[in-house]
Structure 1
Amino acid sequence: MHDHGRTPASPRLSRFIASVASLLLCCLLLWPSHAQAGVANAPGSNLEVSLVTYGPGDTYWERFGHDAIELRDTVSGEAVTFNYGVFDFDESGFLLNFARGQMHYLMDAAPSDVDQHYYTEVGRSVTRQRLAFTPAQAAEMRDYLLWNLQPENVRYEYDYYVRNCATRVRDAIDKALGGVMKPQLEARAGGMTYRQQTARLMSQQAWLMLILDLGLGPYADQPMNAWQEAFLPMELQSEVRHVTVNNAEGHAQPLVLDEQVVSPNRLDAPPATAPDLRLPLALAGLIFAILLIAAYRFAPVVYALLGSLYLVLAGLVGLALLILWTLTTHHSAWGNANLLLFNPLAFLLLAALWRSRKRLPASRFANSVIALQLLAVLAACLMHLLPGVVQQNQPWLLFALPIWLAMAWMLRKQRAPI
């Protein structure tokens, strides 16, 4: 869900180029230079540390933005950006691991002008925040990043919300600062939940926004502090402005010394708030239910086809949610209450649906399934009366409720007398 840098047309060619580029960069960084120091061997007093943030892009995997740590040697002028957003399509079992939630991402580094030129070209904003690091902290940051760039340390287990390109940058900055940033951000309340931020940033791809919202469980609705919300590059950029640190003399000062917009945004910016999906989905559910009832009366075959479409989709969605919960490590999808609304029980009603188009009564088994499904919908509604963090799935409740009520009425309308 996060922007992981450029995505060329050929993954194998991309992998080859990236490998060669990384190798050359490592050689340049680590090769001892007697004539002139560079980022790799400059004293900490010559190093500038900056947080570079790239705004959201147009493609769905770019919607969350991207960021990097820049080290600049003020004497030689050499500047290198280090980021944690690289993945390898050619990694053995990549797609299977992706589906199971066991993804491996990599750290990478590139000359700053080369890295930032790409984002400028495609119209994405580039903002550099120079940070108040002491010489010792700057040297420690450099040493950690070069250590992290080594082949045995370059990979990490990726998670959309808690281990991604922004959280790794956040953690590296906090580590070099001696851990002073984390408690300051944890003391600040976050503005949104994981679900709200996801919907806000994906709203320009409405179909994907709906799929993600449907698949997120109660984990995505927990209140966050600013440290957690800094899983987004743009939030981290905003939150570091509130952090204070001690300088070499022990005096408090802002962490951000200055902020420069290297390149302005030329793309459509995401909305400031998440869209409210309740009314659109409630209307969609109500309209579908009315269409079902009208087709039941005037076009039985159309009714059976529409009903079958809903039942098949509900069953498939339920299977997907069940798999995400039980067979993957996508913990943000665990315990999804939408399973009460869309589940494999729907498949069991297909035969009864086609019988009902001819006004034939539902079987006792079908009636039991209908009753069980209505109880599940009722349970999904009652869950919102419970205290604590409850999954915010009201839009899907409002969508499913009129359809299930209409379907239950039509399936049971011609029930045979006992």
Structure 2
Amino acid sequence: MLKKILVLVHFFIFLFGFAQTSPITTNTKISILTVGTANASHSFYGHTALRIYDSKSNIDVVYNYGMFDFRTENFMFKFVKGDLQYYAEAYPYKDFEYSYHQENRSIYEQLLNLSLDEKQRLFNNLNSSLSSNDKYYTYKFIDRNCTTKVIDALNVVLKSKVIVKKNVDSKTYRDVLYPYVENQFYQKLGINIIFGTKVDNQATYLFLPFDLMENLNQTKHQGKPLVLENKTLFEAQKNETGFSFFDSIYSLITALLIIVVLNKKALNIIYFSILGLIGLLFSVIGLYSFHQEVLWNYNILLLNPLLLVLVFFMMRNNQKWIKRISLVSLLLLGSYTIYMLNKIHLWIVLPIIITNAIILIRLYLKKE
């Protein structure tokens, strides 16, 4: 508790001293910082922050809207539910840079073409929000995150929605997100099966750091480019991890082949139990969570909670109900397959579709 109080006191001393110096001058520079991706779940898609600096006044501060505390009580439940509070913080750029050096994540900077008045108003707005409850916000994956908060702060100062998504095409949010975990098969599989119908909508909203970086270079304000200059402040060292069989679709196919070829009752029960429990979890999350991205999750037709009922009758050797539930499950699986025909993640779930179909057909055709 004492540590938290000291941190809070330090922040207000820093903020008060910073505000008192009124550093906004013709020499003041304001830029957008884009941070590269990493393998941790909270860093798959990069990060966005604002930087205000003035070499003559010895000012160099980052405003970071991506702050959260892993020590928050019931952190995971709040994150899943969608009411986890994120917050904004201002601190020296050197600390910001050091933390991402340690994580080996690149830092890119885009110097903004703002008037003195716009710089002053942005500075005032940022500091006002940090000293009020506005510094806290409820995180939403697409609608409200570190990138959208920076966009909102700038658009208020620019007095219109100058910063919007310009590269709108036929891609969905799922299409846009798909490449970010290209070399992490099970992460990609997990992300795609937990998302529902919202991420299959056309991607018209600007919410990803690198998408913002690209769009800023195409943005004009009062007839002039909004970005004056692009810089690379730190280039991460590439760590070539190479191919991993155990984190690839081949390991999944191998495991499923074993289940199909051996055709053992115990293996089928374990397999369907795992799928059914995952489906049940997703069903509960869909009812419990405020995250719209996980609502109306059609992947539950693949990871079908009904499989748990099938497992129950398999354990009791009740062939009559095994056939009935197998047939219903096959119909649901067929509906899912048809629905998936135009989805980008069809290929990564196809081995599961085929395995489910083979086992269910065997159960349905089995003689009593």
Q: TM-score range by the shorter chain?
A: 0.7 to 0.9
Aligned-partner residue type, residue 367 of structure 1: K
Q: Distance in 2 between matches of 1:105 and 1:215?
A: 22
Q: Distance in 2 between matches of 1:98 and 1:108?
A: 20
Of 136, 144, 155, the match for 1:174:
155
Per-residue CA deviations over 1:363-414 (Å, capped at 9, x if unaligned) read: 32221111110110122133357xxxx7555236523332233222332344
CA contact (8 A) 2:67 2:88 kept: yes
Q: Distance in 2 between matches of 1:132 and 1:408?
A: 62
> What residue in structure 2 maps to residue 394 of structure 1?
346
- Taking the TM superposition and a 5 Å limit, the aligned residue runs for 1:4-403 are 18-30=7-19, 32=20, 38=21, 41-73=22-54, 75-182=56-163, 185-189=164-168, 192-225=171-204, 228=205, 230-246=206-222, 252-268=223-239, 280=249, 284=252, 290-296=257-263, 303-354=264-315, 362-383=318-339, 392-395=344-347, 398-403=350-355
Aligned residues: percent identity?
Answer: 21
CA contact (8 A) 2:175 2:344 kept: no
Q: Which runs of 5+ in 1 are unaligned?
A: 1-11, 33-37, 247-251, 271-278, 297-302, 357-361
Query: What SS class does the counterpart of residue 51 from structure 1 fall into?
Result: strand
> What residue in structure 1 maps to residue 359 of structure 2?
407
Per-residue CA deviations over 1:328-358 (Å, capped at 9, x if unaligned) read: 11211111111111121111222444567xx
Query: What SS class does the counterpart of residue 270 from structure 2 fall into?
Result: helix
CA contact (8 A) 1:44 1:136 kept: no
Q: Which runs of 5+ in 2 are unaligned?
A: 242-247
Cα separation, partners in 2 of 1:197 and 1:187, compared to 1, 3 Å: closer
Moved more, 58-67 or 333-342: 58-67
Per-residue CA deviations over 1:30-56 (Å, capped at 9, x if unaligned) read: 3x3xxxxx4xx1345343211112212
Cα separation, partners in 2 of 1:263 and 1:351, compared to 1, 3 Å: closer
Query: What SS class does the counterpart of residue 259 from structure 1 fall into?
Result: strand
Cα separation, partners in 2 of 1:192 and 1:142, compared to 1, 3 Å: same
Bigger-Rg structure (1/2): 1
Query: What SS class does the counterpart of residue 72 from structure 1 fall into?
Result: strand
> What residue in structure 1 maps to residue 245 of structure 2?
none
Cα separation, partners in 2 of 1:172 and 1:242, compared to 1, 3 Å: same
Moved more, 407-416 or 338-347: 407-416
CA contact (8 A) 1:218 1:392 kept: no
CA contact (8 A) 1:348 1:366 kept: no
CA contact (8 A) 1:289 1:403 kept: yes
CA contact (8 A) 1:103 1:158 kept: yes
What is the TM-score normalised by the length of structure 2? 0.87
Q: Distance in 1 between matches of 2:68 and 2:190?
A: 23
State the 1:322 CA deviation: 0.7
Q: Distance in 2 between matches of 1:331 and 1:199?
A: 18
Query: What SS class does the counterpart of residue 271 from structure 2 fall into?
Result: helix
Q: How many residues get paired?
A: 362
Cα separation, partners in 2 of 1:87 and 1:284, compared to 1, 3 Å: closer
